Amino acid sequence: MIFVYLLIFAMPFYHHPIIDSGAGLLTPTKAMGVLGLAAAVLYVIRRGIPDYLATRQAKLFMAIVLLAFLSFLIHGRPPNLEEVGSPIVNYASMVVFFVIVVSLVDTPEKIRRTLLVANVSLAFASLYILREYQEYHLVSSGFRPGGKVVGDANYFSLAAMLTLPIGYFYLLSETRPFYRRVTLVCVLITSVAIAVSGSRGGLLALFAFIAFVVMRSRRRLRNFCLLVLILIPPMLLVPKNPISRMLNPDVADRLAVRTRIETWKAGIRMCEDHPLMGIGLGEFKTLIGTYAEDPRLSKLAHNTYLEIAAELGILSLMVYLFLIVETYRSLRWTTELARRMKAPLLYGVATGMQGGIVGFLVSSFFLSAEYVKVFWFYVFFSIVLVRVSRAWARQNKVARVHSQFG
């Protein structure tokens, strides 16, 4: 399990000086992936091979991977292992991550620990954001942190937004004092980092999450007040916060909006010219100058759905959307089972992840987020939750389920 925890801890980092040091295949993260895959193989040989394709989202994930590899074979260039963020390497890494998580995370206690590591990892990444803000915000009034270690501020905000719902519901459901304190600290640090990142897409995603929680919760007023207290005050203390950027955009903000609109128009033209198979995996940024009014433009789509449709075709976009829907439905099924089993932690985590999916649907409209690791962690972890909760339900050991998940 140590390799699972290390891979999850590495999720929010873009190019960490230790985790991602080295070059090509010779990096600690890739080494953890190889060792984790070997550990998963040894584990399933000893314990039995799980049905990796038992859920719809697992089948849809593999369909997306196959479509991506097909597009790469038809249109793509040889993969550059030295390149950070190579699309085909990203998809191969996702498959390895899928096998490792589904193979090794198979008990309630492992679920608990995995969730805790996910929260700690985002809090640790948040410290880099906060440190960078502390060092440079006085140099420029419009400074937004985010760079080499955690990547672009918008992508960090999306990863944090996906992790925050898990931490929030983990905090409400956890009964052990030490873990409650750790989770509370992680949630507070992450919420402050979201504030200083200044992401407007992240703000809309958080609003969608808050609306979801309030509508789904029996204690609506309590949850609304808690979320507002956790999320809003840090934003009001930061000059360049998402709320101020939304209400009073400056020249750079307005330019970013115009650039997004131009890339969207170019993406639509790509879809019109190549509706079935797209222009090729990872080719959007390379070819956008051919379709944009400004031939010098070299940008991603800044819209996950449009980028998938443009690069892989309309069919791939439908599979991707179906994958998100099935992940949400799987989590909803888990909440219903958890309610019947009186397992508050399982119920809370699955509910929080549903809210995270809702927020992701909003935020990914403004970002090219198909490679965000925390989203794929959601997909794979929803498979784990279904498998573990089904196993306990089949055995009718409700009391033990309550002791493990409650």
E-assigned strand segments in 24-139: none
- Render pLDDT for 341-400 as a digit per residue (tens, 0 to 9): 888 888 888 988 998 999 899 889 888 889 989 999 999 999 999 888 887 777 655 444
φ and ψ at residue 151, rounded to 5 degrees? 80, -170
- Render pLDDT for 9-54 as a digit per residue (tens, 0 to 9): 888 887 777 777 766 567 777 788 888 889 999 988 988 888 889 8
Residue 314 has pLDDT above 50, yes or no: yes
- Render pLDDT for 229-246 as a digit per residue (tens, 0 to 9): 777 777 677 766 677 777
Percent of the chain residues topping a pLDDT of 70: 88
Residue 54: the pLDDT is 87
Residue 399: the pLDDT is 45
Most confident region among 78-82, 260-264, 394-398 by mean pLDDT = 260-264
Please give the distance of CA 337 from its chain centroid, rounded to a whole number. Answer: 24
- Render pLDDT for 166-215 as a digit per residue (tens, 0 to 9): 888 888 888 888 888 999 999 889 988 888 887 777 777 878 877 887 77
Residue 403: the pLDDT is 45
Residues 6+ apart with CB under 8 A from 307: 267, 284, 300, 301, 368, 370
Residue 25: the pLDDT is 60
The chain-wide mean pLDDT, for the chain, equals: 83
- Render pLDDT for 137-168 as a digit per residue (tens, 0 to 9): 666 666 677 767 787 888 888 888 889 888 88
CA Rg value for the chain: 21
φ and ψ at residue 382, rounded to 5 degrees? -65, -35
26: helix, strand or coil: strand
Place of tokens 């700690």: 120
Question: How large is the average pLDDT for residues 123-133?
Answer: 88
Distance between CA atoms of 318 and 171, rounded to whole angstroms?
Answer: 35
Residues 6+ apart with CB under 8 A from 123: 185, 186, 187, 189, 190
Percent of the chain residues topping a pLDDT of 90: 25
Domain boundaries, the chain: 2-143+164-194+325-361+375-405, 251-312
DSSP 166-214: HHHHHHHH---HHHHHHHHHHHHHHHHHHHHHT-HHHHHHHHHHHHHHH
Residue 149: the pLDDT is 79
